[in-house]
Amino acid sequence: MGKIFGVLFCILISNLVSSYAQQNCNSYAFSRNTIYTTCVSLPVLNSHLHWNYHSSNSTVDLAFRHAGSDTSQWVAWALNINGQGMVGAQALVAVTGSNGSVQAYTSSVTGYQTGLQPSQLSFDVPSITAERVRGDVLIYATLVLPSGGTRFNQVWQVGPVNNGAPGIHGLGADNRNSLGSVDFISGETGAGGSIGGSRQRRRNTHGVLNAVSWGVLMPMGAMAARYLKVFSVANPAWFYIHAATQTSAYIVGVAGWATGLKLGSDSAGITHQSHRNIGIILFSFATLQVFALLLRPKPDNKYRFYWNIYHHSLGYSIIILSIINVYEGLDILDPEKKWKNAYTGILIALGVITVILEALTWFIVLKRKKEDKVTHAGANGHA
């Protein structure tokens, strides 16, 4: 019974929040005293869309409102007639200067490296203006809807202004999810499209694969090699455990590398330089380690000493770079805070286990040396 009341309470709260947002949207008082018959509060980036649809000539008078806008910031709202997402978007742009003045214009987005330069759209925009009121930036425009259609994919975005020109917008979760659909007759809006969702799934897959391979399995494999071989009963099992763990990490890492390459090819113009460079170094180092395993000299070989230095140095470098790059990836993905906390918790747990095993290893090694000295001294005395 308690669970049922809890569910009903959550539904009630959700409805109240939704109703409040819609009421706030509809009750907004425009400085021009314009009345819009339809209004929707968009799900992210604190944005709202107001409009009047005129069926007689297939035009829409609309106002896009971004609440709580900073100075030196640009905002944009767009229709994507033939696709979803940023590329192909036909945008209405407002750029706020440091002095608070607002410039409005249209921009056709042809690629990810766009600077949102002024350009004509694929449909007519007879009028476009913008203003800043009480911290909100508003774009007013009249659109002649293409082909008499009423339902389109929409995109909206916010970014910084650098030296008077629009700069690259953020890549946080809200920025990535600022797309959907809008129907100017029914007033219905939809969530992000399949392209954005598919890409987000690939990003998540890429992140999980690499976090598991480089960020968890690699350190565990190194721990197996260092701490299991001190136990006589674990010889040579420690080597096979170490090799199997590192090989599994490499295979999973290759899958993560492949998804990263696919993401890069699908996102031309978007480059996370540090994450990309560290990933290339990691993959190269790990591949060298695989070849090193095949070229491993026997314990009594004169080159074994140098091979050990090479193998250990490369291995610890991979672990350090792996951890750094997992955090780089988490910053890019910008998931819920619990995921970064979970990975941090795993590292702390591995660190605690490492300290305990390191102390135990030294205890065992020193004890054996002491016993060997006693045995050796006894043997000399007996002789």
150, 53 in Cβ contact below 8 A? yes
19 within some domain: no
Domain boundary among 192, 212, 233: 192
Q: Which stretches of the chain drop beneath a pLDDT of 50?
A: 1-23, 193-197
Query: Domain range holding 357?
Result: 196-373
**Is the distance from CB of 322 to CB of 215 less than 8 angstroms?**
yes
Residue 144 sits at the vertex; the CA angle it makes with 138 and 149, to the nearest 5 degrees, is 110
Residue 13 lies in a domain: no
Same domain, 182 and 288: no
Number of domains in the chain: 2
Tell me, yes or no, whether 186 and 204 share the same domain: no
pLDDT of residue 378: 59
382 annotated binding-site participant:
no
Q: 272 a known binding residue?
A: no
φ and ψ at residue 159, rounded to 5 degrees: -155, 175
Residue 9 C-alpha from the chain's centroid:
33
Residue 84 lies in a domain: yes
Does the annotation flag 54 for ligand binding?
no
Distance CA 377, CA 231 (A): 24
Residue 271's domain is classified under what CATH number?
A: 1.20.120.1770
Helix (H, G, I), strand (E, B) or coil at 40: strand
Same domain, 211 and 331: yes
Residue that the structure tokens 């949207």 belong to: 25
Got the DSSP string for 95-153?
EE-TTS-EEEEEEE--STT--------SS--SEEEEEEETTEEEEEEEEE-GGG--EEE
Task: Identify whether residues 254 and 239 lie together within a single domain.
Answer: yes
pTM: 0.52
**pLDDT, tens digit, 9 for 90 and up, residues 339-364:** 888 889 989 998 999 899 889 888 88
Q: Does a structural domain hold residue 382?
A: no
Q: What's the distance, Cα to Cα, between the start and end of the chain in Å?
A: 84
Is residue 338 one of the residues assigned to a domain?
A: yes
Of 136, 160, 192, which closes a domain? 192
Residue 271, pLDDT score: 62
Q: Is 382 exposed, middle or buried (0-12, 13-18, 19+ CB in 10 A)?
A: exposed
Element (H, E) at 25: helix 2-26
Q: What are phi and psi of 196, to 5 degrees?
A: -60, -40
